[in-house]
Amino acid sequence: MAETKPVLMQGNEACAMGAISAGVRFYAGYPITPSTEVAEIMAAKLPEIGGVFIQMEDEIASMAAVIGASIGGMRTLTATSGPGFSLKQENLGYAIMAEIPCVVVNVQRMGPSTGVPTAPAQGDVMQARWGTHGDHPIIVFSPSSVYETYYLTIAAVNLSQKLRQPVIMLLDEVIGHMREKVFIPEAGKLLVEKSSDQIPSDWKPYDEKGLTPLVPFGFGHYYHVTGLFHDQYGFPTGDPPHVERALDRLHAKLEKYRDEIVLTNYIGHKEPRVAIVAYGCTVRSARSVVKKAYWQDRLPVGLLSLQTIWPFPAREIEALAKQADVIIVPEMNMGQLVGEVERYVCGQAKVVPLNRYDGEMITPDQISELIGRWLS
Amino acid sequence: MQLTQDFLRTKKLPHIWCPGCGNGIVTAALVRAIERAGYDQREVVIVSGIGCSSRAAGYLNFNTLHTTHGRALAFATGLKMARPELTLFVIMGDGDCSAIGGNHFIHSARRNIDLNAIVVNNHIYGMTGGQHSPLTPTGMKATTAPGGTLERAFDLLELAKGAGATFGARGNAAQPRQLEQLITRAAKHKGFSVVEALSPCPIAYGRRNKLGGAVEMLKGMKESSVAVERAAEMDEADLEGKTLNGVLFSIDAPEFSSEYHRMIKKDHG
Ligand code: SF4
C-alpha cells in the first residue's frame, strides 16, 4: 500500500479521519469527555465533503439517528464514552437485530458512573461484549496506537458494511488523546470495500441462505425493519424454530468471517515461558518490556496483542497456552478479559492477572517485575 | 373510498388489534391521505415506535421501520437527514411519544425537521394492559392508577407548538374523513408536523373507566370535539370539557434538513 508522509495526529482524530477515509458521511453524537474531539472533527469536515453531522439531544437519539441514516444508505459513525455507551446499548441491540451497519466508538474512561472523566481505564470490556440485552454477537476492536486506530476504524467500517453488523471501536483515554505519526495512504490507495450495487432479483433483506447487501430505503424494495424477531422479509415472528434459526444466523455470520474479524499480533520467543496477553493502551507498556527482554536480553518471553477482543481470539489463546508456562494478563480494570483467557487456557498454563484501577497506566516496570518473578 | 391494495400488505392481515380498537381507522386515514396526496410509493417511509398503534407499520406496503420504544423520531431524524427527498410519517402512541420519547419529540419540534408525526392518542398504554400515560386525563383510572391518576396531562399540541413545531392538528377516529384531510395537510406542510389522532381503546381504557364499548367511545369523542373555527365563536363556559379539532396552528419557518443540505452545497462550492 502506497503511503504518503507521516501526519502527526491524536487518536481521536485518527478515528475520525479513518472513518472519513472509509466513506463515513454521517455522524450523530452527543458531547462527552474524552471522545468529544471525534465529534468536533466530524462537524468541521463532513459538511465540506457533502456529509451530514448532527448533534442530537442525547446519546440514545444519536445511536438511533445513526441507524436511521444507515438505512438511508449512508456509512455512519457515532462516538461516546462510558456513560454515553451505557445509554447507547438499547439501540445498539436494535442495530444488531435488524442488521444495520454502523460503527460505535467508545473512548473508555474511569467508571463506574461518571467516575473520573479524564482518567484512562479499560473497564468497559465486558460491557462492550454484553451491554445490550439478549444473546447477541458483537465485534469489538481495541487499538493500541494512533496508527492502529486509523486502520482499525477503516476495517470496522468495511466489516460493518459487509456483515451488516455494528462494530465497536473500544479506545481508551490514552489512545484517544495521545499524538503519534500516522501514514495516511494516498487517495485511491486505501482498501475501502465498496458495497455491491448489484441487487439480485430474488433479494431478501434477511436471506436465510446467507448475507445479502442492505438495500437502502427509497429504491422500491418494500421491506420491514424491526427489532422483533423476524422472517426473511423482516416481518415479525415469534415462532420458536424460526426464532432459534434467526439467532443462529446472526452468530453464524461472524463465525463464517472469523479470520477477517479476529486480528492479533505476536512478538517474542517462539516457545515463551512467560507470555503476556494485552489489548489497548496496555499493549504499549507490554511491548516495550518484551522488546527489551526478548531482543536484547534473549529471555523466553512473548506478547500476544489483541486488536480484536470480541469475538474473543480463543484459538490464538489456546495455541499460546500450549507453548507458555505462564500467561500474564495486564488490564486497567479489576480483571475482565482475564476470565476469558482462563477459559481457553483451560489449565494448560498458569494465568496471572495484573490489574490497575487507579486511573493510571500500567507501567513497563510493573510488567517486567512480574515477568522477572515468574522467570526465576 | 376503497383503500389501495398496493399500499397494504394484505398477506399480513388480519391485524393484531382488538375488536373496536381505533388503530385501524387511523391507519386507514393515513393510507388514504398518502394516496390522496399523490405520493409515489417509493418516496414514502413509515417509521413507528413501540405499542399497539406502532404495529401499523408492518401492515403498510412501503419501506417501514419499526423502531424502539420512544425513539421513532430520532431514527426518523437520521433517515431524513441522510435522504431529505423521502417523505416520512412517524406513527407513535401517546406514551411512546410523550413519555419515553418526550425528549425526541420536543427536539424534533425545535429543529423543525420535515417529519410528519401521527400521534395515536388513546390516553393509555394499551399493549401492556392499561397503565396511565402523560396524556391520561387527571382522575381517569389505569392499572397503575387504580383510584384515578393525580397527574396532570400534557396538551400535546401546545407542547409541540411551544417547542417549535410549525404544524399542529387534532382529529379523531370518529371523524375519519377529517382525520385524513388533516394528515394530508400535515404531509404537505414543510416542517415538523404533529397530528394528534384521538382513538378509542375500549379494552385497556374504556372498560376500566366505564366509557362503554367502541361505539359509545366514538360517539363520546365526536360529541366532545369542537372545530377550531367554531370554537372561536363560543364562550369559555360552552367550551368546558370540549376538545378542539382541526388545524390548531400552521406556521412558516425554515426547515432543518433542507437548510442543512443547502449549507453543505454552499460549502461544497
Ligand atoms: S389494547 Fe387498546 S389500543 Fe391496543 S389493540 Fe386493544 S383496543 Fe387497541
Q: Express each pLDDT in A203-225 by its tens digit.
A: 999 999 888 999 999 999 999 99
Percent of chain B with pLDDT over 70: 97
| Number of neighbouring beta carbons within 10 Å of residue B235 | 8
Residue among A222, A228, A230 with most chain B CBs within 10 A, to mutate: A222
Cβ contacts of A339-342, under 8 Å, gap ≥ 24: A340/A312, A341/A277, A341/A317
**C-beta atoms of B82 and A68 within 8 A:** yes
Smallest CA–CA distance, residue B44 to chain A, in Å, is 7
Q: β-strands B63-66, A224-226: how paired? A: parallel
How far apart are the C-alpha atoms of A34 and A15, rounded to whole Å?
13
φ/ψ (deg, to 5) at B238: -70, -25
Distance B49 CA to ligand 1 centre (A): 15
Q: Do A265-375 and A3-185 fall under one CATH topology?
A: yes
Protein residue whose Cα sits closest to atom 6 of ligand 1: B18
Q: Is B154 left (phi over 0), alpha (psi -120 to 50) or beta?
A: beta
Q: Domain coordinates of chain A in residue numbers?
A: 3-185, 265-375
Looking at residue B242, its pLDDT comes to 95
Q: Which residues line ligand 1 (CB under 6 A)?
A: B 17-18, 21, 23, 52, 122, 126-127, 201-204
Contact B178, B153 (CB under 8 A): no
Which of chain B's residues have a Cβ under 8 Å away from the Cβ of A225? 64-66
Q: Which of B43, B74, B268 sits opposite A65 (nearest CB)?
A: B74
Q: Which atom of ligand 1 is nearest to the CA of B17?
A: 5
Number of A to B CB contacts under 8 A, please give it: 136
Q: Fold for domain A265-375?
A: Rossmann fold (3.40.50)
Residue B269 has pLDDT above 60, yes or no: no
With b for 16 or more beta-carbon neighbours within 10 A and e for fewer, the A44-76 pattern comes to ebbbeeebbbbebbbbbbbbbbbbbbbbbbbbb
Distance B97 CA to ligand 1 centre (A): 16
How far apart are the C-alpha atoms of B254 and A261, rounded to whole Å?
45
ipTM rounded to 2 decimals: 0.96
Residue A193 has pLDDT above 70, yes or no: no
**C-beta atoms of B63 and A61 within 8 A:** no
Q: What is the DSSP-derived secondary structure letter of residue B100?
A: I
Provide the mean pLDDT of chain A: 95
Does domain B2-267 fall under CATH 3.40.50.970? My reply is: yes
Residue-wise pLDDT for A50-84, tens only, equals 999 999 999 999 999 999 999 999 999 999 999 99
Looking at residue A360, its pLDDT comes to 96
Q: Domain coordinates of chain B in residue numbers?
A: 2-267
Residue B2 has pLDDT above 70, yes or no: no
Confidence of residue A184 (pLDDT cuts 50, 70, 90): confident
Q: Pick the residue with more confidence: A4 or A275? A: A275
User: Can you give A136-200 as a three-state secondary structure string?
Assistant: CCCEEECCCCHHHHHHHHHHHHHHHHHHCCCEEEEEEHHHHHCEEEEEEECCCCCCCCCCCCCCC
What CATH number was assigned to the domain covering residues A3-185? 3.40.50.970
